[in-house]
Each structure stands twice: as structure tokens, then as C-alpha cells.
Chains A and B, each alone.
Chain A
């Protein structure tokens, strides 16, 4: 039978059927589906039984940070890695939350009391008794020695011990008795308490930290398994070497090689668990990782998370301040950003080994404009590598770099004219910035610095960019002509900022080409300030140091900023003090 004829037959039958019924099946089906959808939607909106949201005691925190290397004090030297170290691990002493980290703001933690010799070279600590590791072992002096020997021994090139020069400070750790440990230093070191309170000095659990080789980076001493053990994403990175802190890392989910979620659970063995109100204040904390600041802001605004910490952009902060459903917390600013000049020769570009060029470029910078435009006034201009609020850098007194001025084009022109640069023969520089959100608003800043340099009419700027891992490589290889860099303090002391003038990762390429350089005088002042506890002496030494720095301009401070946190209004216990530490164990929901 012909195809169409069959169809006609079927149609005929169908038509008869249709005419019998008043309403077609389609209408009925449609109505039913519609009713179901409306019913489900109504149930959902009214949060009736099947849709009741589970009452979770957990506090949910959102962040754009992620773990950069591992949660191990021998390897982590990034902001978030330290954050987790601090919340899951413990140090001998701690900084009083909310304090300004002065000498008397150090609280006992795993150590109960301490003494120091008059020459500041021998420090003796009496340890707390009865503190248990997760496996029931009692914490004692051997663990302190083990931790320092291990962390300094691993000497990971990216790790904090090497970069903070633990080796140059600590000679050895000595077990005096079961609960007494002694640090013998190589040099007199005033800020030693600060160093011991920082997360790189956390005590590791030997059971969890696995074997280590004296110098595991030395290729001769490794096997393939070791490398995989340290670097493997499913093994070492999910391994937390700590368990003395307020929390334990209960779960760490990574999707597609990226941090997705972390769950922290209260540590039942935490030594300070019985403190007033009980610590940690919240038993369970979920950390959610967001791809960018915009996503994080939208999440806190929608109420998906209770706390948003790092990074929320300046515009978003300003906008969220007006939101009655949220509370915006402003921290004390000790994070700084600065500009670095490559003094080695970079192919195809003028060498910046003459202090005049660097001073001229420094004079072109317009710090207030950056702070007002990109940061909407949330960052403040910085005229010293030691930020305002530290020893000898009181509020309202501009630092030594202020003598170069802001947007001081006449000065810049006169300096460059000496070297033969003018409107027709412009100084060419390459300015590098970071693109993967490691530093807030980097592209905007770079665009602004470019226009500030070019406003002098004697410079042309080419912008170059790299994502964070490549940026670090470029830094080490010395291929970046002029670039932006940032710093969060390891411990609160001018020492931890003044050392940026010869930080191991910068010093190699960036210092010491100037014919009249003051390198040795700077270093002498730095070492003297390190060994002194006399505040007036230290202040004058740091001023002397920075006086030389202004003449040389190897690095130029630009701005100083604060940490910001946004929470729901019922979240309390937020301490954003000068240490830049994020103490999750003090957060609680009211």
C-alpha cells in the first residue's frame, strides 16, 4: 500500500478518536505537567518537607586563593598554604589576635615560657605538657628539634626556610630535657619570637611527614618515588603534615587539578580546646574555592557562603558596604606592592644599571592616583619598603621615598636629560604585570603606570604580562625589565620588609650594578638593626638603610593595602590584624 494512503488511514482513525473525546490528550498531559511544575515550585519556595534545607552547623567560607604547593611548612610559602598551616598546625608561640604584634603581644602556645640570653643568641623554651598528636603520642622537645631539622634540611627552593634564611639565623636546636628546648643562633636576632610564631616554624608530626633526605633536591639522593611523593597531586598534596592545631583537614576535594572544597573539623586534641567558650569556636568549617573575585562576590551576596575572604575587588567592597545583609571588615594594612628594576642587561632594551634612570622612573610614579583610581582609596601610597604602622613608620609621616615626589616629571626629565634621553630619543622600558589574579587588579595598575611613565614625554612603555607560575620563572631568570611585585609579612618586624632589598629571589639580578652603589653600607645597617633590641637605634638604622635605598632605587615602594573580609552580619570573631593571619578557629556564628 502507498505510504500516504496508510497515513491517511491512520489519520482517519485518529480523527475519529479525537472527535469522541472533548479534550485532547495533549491538553491533559500539558495541564498535568504544568500542575506538577507549579506544585514542586511552590513546595520548594515554601521549603516544605522534601525541600527543607539541612541545618548545617558548618561555617562556609569562600576564597579565590588556592594551595600553591603543599600543606607542609617545608614547602609552603604562599598565602593560602600558610593559612591552612596556621589553622591545622601550631607553633611554639602565637601573636595575640587583634594586637599590633609588639614584643609583649606574643602568647604562649606549645611553649609556656621562654628566656633569652643578653646577646640574643640563645633562646630557651619550656614546652607545654600533655599535648597529644592525633595518634596519641605526647608532644615533647624532640618533636621541636625534628621539625626544625626536617624543614631546614629539606631546603626546598621555593620553601620558606631557604628564602627566609633560617640557616643564617638558627645554628642548631638542642633538646635540653623532655620539655625544654634551646635554639642556638648564629647571629644576634631580635625578631626571633616573630620568626617562631610564623607558620614556617610550625611543628610537624613525624608520623605524617614521612621520610626526608638531608638534601632531597640533590638529584643523586633521589629515586623516582621520592619525586612523585613530594609532587604527586593525589598523595603528598592531600597529606597534611600537621595535627596539633585547632582543626584537622578532614577532606580536600580537587576537581580537574584545582582545589574545589576543603573541610576542616575541630581537633579533639587541641591544647587550647578548653579555653573560654571552647576553641575552635566553630566545630566544622567548609572552604569553597572560587575562580575569581566576581564569582566570590556573587556567592557571598547570594548567601551561598557565610564568609568571603580574599580577594574581593575594591569596587565590590565599596558596593557591598551599602548592603545591609552583609558586614565588611577592614584589616590593618601590611601588604605592600613595589616595583623592581632589572639591573642586568636585557637584550634589546636599555640597561637600568644607572641609579639616575631608576630615580627618574620612580619620580614618574603617581601613587595617589593609583590608590584613588584602582583601589578607590582603599590602599594608601607607600614611600618606604617598611609600611606605615611598623616600628619607626608612624601614621602621617611620609617615608624616605617621598623626596622623589609623585608625578615629578621635571625632576625625571632633568635626570634623564643627563643621560641623553629626551622627547625625540625616548627611554624605552618594558613593564611586566601578572595576569592570573595573584595580585589584585594588576592589569589596571599596569595600564596606569604605563600612562604615568609616558606622561613624562621622555619614556615609552611596552606592557608585557605572564601568569603567576611563568612570572616567577621570569623573575628568577631575570628577563623582566621592570615589574610589579608584592609582599605579605612573615612576621611583624621591619626586618621582614627591609630584607626585600636583598631577598634571595630578587638580589641575584636586581642589586649591585650601580657604580656608586651603597650595597655594603645598606647591608651593614640591616645586620646591625637585626642584632639590636634598642628601638631608637633600630629606627635610625632603618632610616639610614632606606636613605641609601632612595639614592639607588633598586626597588620602589608603591602602595600599602589592607585585607578585607565580607561576612554575613551574624558572623563574629573576625581578626584582621597587622599579621595578615586569618584565624578560622575564632570565627563563630551568633
Chain B
């Protein structure tokens, strides 16, 4: 099986799985007891008013039509309307997702780093006290309720030592990081100079460019230079036109929603440090709980690898132990760790719900818990679907990555 066949098969296998998940979620929400429309209007609204509301939400249609519309909506990235305030659920989810993503990335980093370091230490001192205590620790963090660990860390580092903030994502006295803003030349464009100068110049350079490129023998001097210059010029003119035509395109604004990244792009070290400070406790909490699996994985992998010939040979050549382990032996553990990251992603999202609730982290998990409290069925459905799709996508990506990196899978 070639790589391409593998990828296609893998994607094709993911599709029915996602479809199945979507259907399950759809059915779970539809068989929930209670009438969401009644909840929104209270009893005082007339039957007609409630019927109207059902019509707006599309809840009056036969189930199979609802199902069809739900699937079509999903394809367009539309997760329906919230029953609480009729705003689009996808907007709410997209506004919450970056926070969860930032937490997920940083806690995965914590989990892998802690896990690998401990795993290596354990395998180096196989069957010693170190080994046993690290293994026990690995099991113990797994057996700790995330919110309990979170509370203990809050108690120690935020309440008693006052080193780190206990709640939230960003200090209120700062404006949220704004990301990267690039000015694209003209600020107050005037139609006349553009028409008078840039249009002819633009066409002329385009013409030159095309003529030059049409010649078969392209040397750098002078033709190549002309080609480069005219391409740049054409590009610039196009940009000007765009900027004139679409006012929003005059500045390029890149914002990821990840506060650490955004504050770096904005060039504000204070915001960066503050976002790290707020991110610290939640990601340590979630990361520590997940680190157990990585510890165990690294340990068993290292135990196997350290027995292999090339490691022995490296040692025999007098290489430092650190170089042997981190430079050579650990490379063998890379692929299993990558796979484990994919497998642990679902657990990570589950843990994120509890972590976010503990630390008032404004992400998807908190959103889900909130919506459950309001019995906002359509929003619950939207959030769960989103979780399902994200997990399936991440698993797919990890699998594909694995296929690229490990040649054996292509055989």
C-alpha cells in the first residue's frame, strides 16, 4: 500500500466515524426531556408565540428534515442558534475555542516534557528507588481528580505564596493582545492618482513581465532582475487596488486568539509575561495529570532501546550518558510519543472541562458546563459536535503524520 492509498483509506475511514458521532449527538439531544421553547418563553407566552419560536429554530419540522438541515448546516460551519439568546452557536464556540486550544497546547507541552524527563530518569535507574517512586507518581497523578490538583495548586501558589493568579486568562488592567497589524501603504487613497499613475504603470510592468517570462533563456542579469522588479510592482499595484476597493484590506490584521502568540506578535513583552502567568497553573494542572502516560511510555521505550546495540556502541565510544540518551536513544521514543499525543487528545479535552471550571478559564469546557446549566440543548449539541470533529481531525492528522514519519506503515 502506497502512502497515497494509505492516506485516502484513512480519511475515508474517518468519515463514517464522524457521521456516526454526529448522528449520535443529534439523537441524544432530540430525546432529551423538557421543551426548550417553553424554557425560553416561560409559560406566559402564547402557544402561537412558542410555535413561532420553534419555527425559527426549525424544531417544528419532521425529524429527518431536521437531521438533513443539521448536516447541511455543519458543512457550512453553522451549528444552529442558541436557545438562550438566538445568537449563532458557531460564533460563541469560535470565541471560546482559542482559549481551549492554548490550554491544550501548553498542557500537552507540560505533559510531554515532564513525562519524558521522568521516564528517562526512571529507565536510567531501572528497578531502583527512583524508578519505583516515579512509576508510583505516574499512577498517582493519573488517579488524582484534576480539579482537586487544581485547587491544591491554587491554594499553594496563588493563595498562600501569591506567586501566580488563581483565576482567569488575562489581567483586567491590560487590553487583550491585539496580534499583528501591518499597514499596506495608502491610508487615504484617492481615486485620481491611482487611475492616472498606477493603472498604466501596472499594465506596463505586467506586459514587461509577461514578455520577459516568455523568453526561454532567462538569465538573471538583466532580464531576471526586470522580471523580479516588475512582479513586485504588479503585486504592489494589486495591493493598492485592493486597499482602495476594500477598506478593511488596507491593514493586514493577524490575530490567533492565543494570547501568548498574539502578545508576541503585538510586540508587548508585558502582555506576553502576563498571559504566561495566567496560563501557568491551568496548564501545569492538566499537564501533570496527563504526564503519567508519557512517563510510562518513555520508560518502557527507553528500557528497550537502551539494550540495543547502537546505544551500547555509543557508550563504548565514551560518549557522555546525556548525549547517548537525549541525542540517540530518545529518538526511538519519538514516534510512540507522537501517537500517544493523538490518543490522549480526547482525554485532554475532557480534562480541560474540569480545568477550565476550576480556573475560570473562558474556553469551550466552561461553555459546555454553562450551557448544560441553562439546558440550552442546541448549544450543547453544537459544543459536543465540535469536540467530536476536533478529536477526529486531530487523530487523523496524527495518523497521517505518523505515516509520513514511519516508513514501515507504508509497506
Contact = CB atoms under 8 A, between A and B. Distances in A.
Judged by CB atoms under 8 Å, the answer to whether A and B touch is yes
Interface of A: 3-4, 7-8, 11-12, 14-15, 18, 24, 26, 40, 43-44, 50-54, 56, 58, 60, 62, 157-158, 217-220, 222, 224, 227-228, 231-234, 237, 254-258, 260-261, 286, 288, 290-292, 294-295, 298-299, 302, 304-305, 435-436, 467, 469-470, 472-473, 476-477
A228 B87 CA distance: 9
Identify which of A44, A50, A60, A473 gathers the most chain B CB atoms within 10 Å of its CB.
A473
Given A60-B173, A257-B87, A219 B92 contact: no
A233 B366 contact: no
Contacts of A227: 52-53, 56, 86
Nearest to A69: B85
B172 interface: yes
B366 A256 contact: yes
15 contacts: A8-B314, A11-B319, A53-B173, A231-B85, A232-B87, A233-B85, A256-B366, A256-B370, A257-B84, A257-B87, A291-B167, A294-B167, A298-B167, A305-B172, A476-B44
A473 B364 contact: no
A52 B159 CA distance: 25
Contact of B314 (A11, A157, A258): A11
In the A-B complex, the 9 residue pairs with the closest CB atoms? A233-B87, A219-B48, A256-B96, A157-B44, A233-B85, A256-B367, A295-B167, A291-B360, A257-B92
A234 B48 contact: no
A467 B363 CA distance: 21
Interface stretch (B9-17, B67-75, B114-122, B372-380): B372-380
A304 B172 contact: yes
B319 A40 contact: no
A255 B257 CA distance: 12
A291 B358 CA distance: 10
Given A234-B91, A290-B167, A472-B42, A257 B370 contact: yes
A257 B367 contact: yes
B12 to A, nearest CB: 34
B85 A304 contact: no
Nearest to B98: A255
A78 to B, nearest CB: 14
B313 interface: yes
A292 B363 CA distance: 16
A69 to B, nearest CB: 9
Contacts of A53: 173-174, 270
B203 interface: no
Identify which of A11, A217, A256, A258 gathers the most chain B CB atoms within 10 Å of its CB.
A256
B162 interface: yes
A51 B269 contact: yes
Contact of A228 (B56, B91, B362, B364): B56
Given A24-B320, A231-B85, A292-B360, 20 more contacts: A11-B317, A14-B319, A157-B45, A217-B46, A219-B52, A231-B86, A234-B91, A255-B362, A256-B92, A257-B367, A258-B367, A258-B370, A288-B172, A298-B158, A298-B167, A304-B165, A304-B171, A467-B373, A469-B375, A473-B38
Nearest to B91: A234
Contacts of B360: 290-292, 295
Interface string B36-72: 0011011111101101110110000000000000000
B222 interface: no
Contact of A7 (B86, B159, B310): B310
A4 B313 contact: yes
Contacts of A15: 317-319
B166 interface: yes
A298 B278 CA distance: 13
A12 B367 CA distance: 56
A237 B87 CA distance: 10
Contact of B309 (A4, A256, A436): A4
A259 B165 CA distance: 21
B198 interface: no
B82 interface: yes
Contacts of A51: 269-270, 273
B211 interface: no
Contacts of B318: 15
A12 B319 CA distance: 9
A179 B91 CA distance: 46
